[in-house]
Amino acid sequence: MIKELSELIKLAKEKTVRNIAVAAAEDEDVLIAVKSAVEEKIVTPILIGDASKILRIARNVNFKLGNTEVIDCNNNVDSARIAVEMVKTGRADILMKGRVKTSDLLRAVLDKQIGLSAGRLISHIAFFQSPYYHKIFCVTDVAMNIAPTLEDKVQIINNAVAACHQIGVKTPKVAVVAAVETVNPKMEATLHAAALKEMCLEGKIKGCIIDGPLAVDIAFSKEAAIHKGVDSKVAGDCDIVIVPDIEAGNMFYKALNFLGGANSAAIIVGASAPIVLTSRSDNDKSKLLSIALATLMQN
């Protein structure tokens, strides 16, 4: 089990160098991250986008492209489709979002003809390292599934558990969070949490320990759990946080990054290949860590 997100890079360097197709690559933070990933010898990039802008930014950040393949495309939607097709046909192993809207990238990913569907629910996972918590943890889903059903959340948990297993967390502790830690028939998140906990106890969800509903303070603090009289194996030691919906998750994600001093690595899993999908406001360090994480999810 890794202790710091920086260890993702070390683990990635032990893998075969992967080809990564970057859609709309004309973004400074993206190119800095890709440059660092190339220097660490974990990826070989294929840059799709406005070639003149890509070359200019590359010069500005001292990214010597050399024999790097650059495909000129001035339309972000088309750029996303080209990048997805490259992964689909095996020319690239990983897809990465550049200066393109998430919705445009995902539209290409989900396209029935050229897309990367693997017959499973696709979900977003983000690993965080916070100065206020004793270990790395995963938050899901903050960018893909808007209002997941109970069945969706089962698959979201399975995706996150599989990712945790890949980085050495053998039996991740899953906190299904809500505004309260008791079941309230008027609050769907609490009903889902109780059902997911029961499904885990019945062996319908494997490879993890699930508890919920848990308020966020209880999920991350044993002291809060003791104070509130909550007895839980997950409380204060969670590895995975399952959020109620995309709004709660997205706000939690950005609060951790911009107010909580956390570092993050974020990808989409459940497709036929890993997809590096960070917020456009995430810095180059986060994007580099996300690239490293994606290489570890590649079989």
- DSSP letters, 57-95, are HHHHTT---TT-EEEE---HHHHHHHHHHHHHTTS-SEE
| 7-41 pLDDT tens trace | 999 999 999 999 999 999 999 999 999 999 999 99
297 against 205, higher pLDDT: 205
DSSP assignment, residue 124? E
| Mean pLDDT calculated for residue range 40-67 | 95
**Angle formed by the axes of helices 150-166 and 188-201, nearest 10°:** 60
> DSSP labels for 203-246?
TSS-SSEEEEEE-HHHHH-HHHHHHHT---SSTT--SEEE-SSH
| 206-231 pLDDT tens trace | 999 999 999 999 999 999 999 999 99
d(CA 17, CA 37): 10
Nearest to 158 by CA among 172, 142, 177: 172
| Mean pLDDT calculated for residue range 246-254 | 95
d(CA 216, CA 189): 13
| 86-138 pLDDT tens trace | 999 999 999 999 999 989 999 999 998 889 988 889 999 999 999 999 999 99
d(CA 54, CA 51): 5
**Strand 275-276, strand 263-269: pairing:** antiparallel
Model's pTM, two decimal places?
0.92
pLDDT of residue 113: 87
Under DSSP, is residue 34 helix (H, G, I), strand (E, B) or coil?
helix
Average pLDDT, the chain: 94
Q: Who contacts 288 (Cβ-Cβ below 8 Å, separation ≥6)?
A: 9, 33, 36, 37
pLDDT of residue 298: 67
With beta carbons less than 8 A apart as the criterion, state whether 297 and 163 touch. Answer: yes
d(CA 183, CA 140): 21
End-to-end alpha carbon distance in the chain: 19
Rounded to the nearest angstrom, the gap between the alpha carbon of residue 11 and the centroid of all alpha carbons in its chain is 17
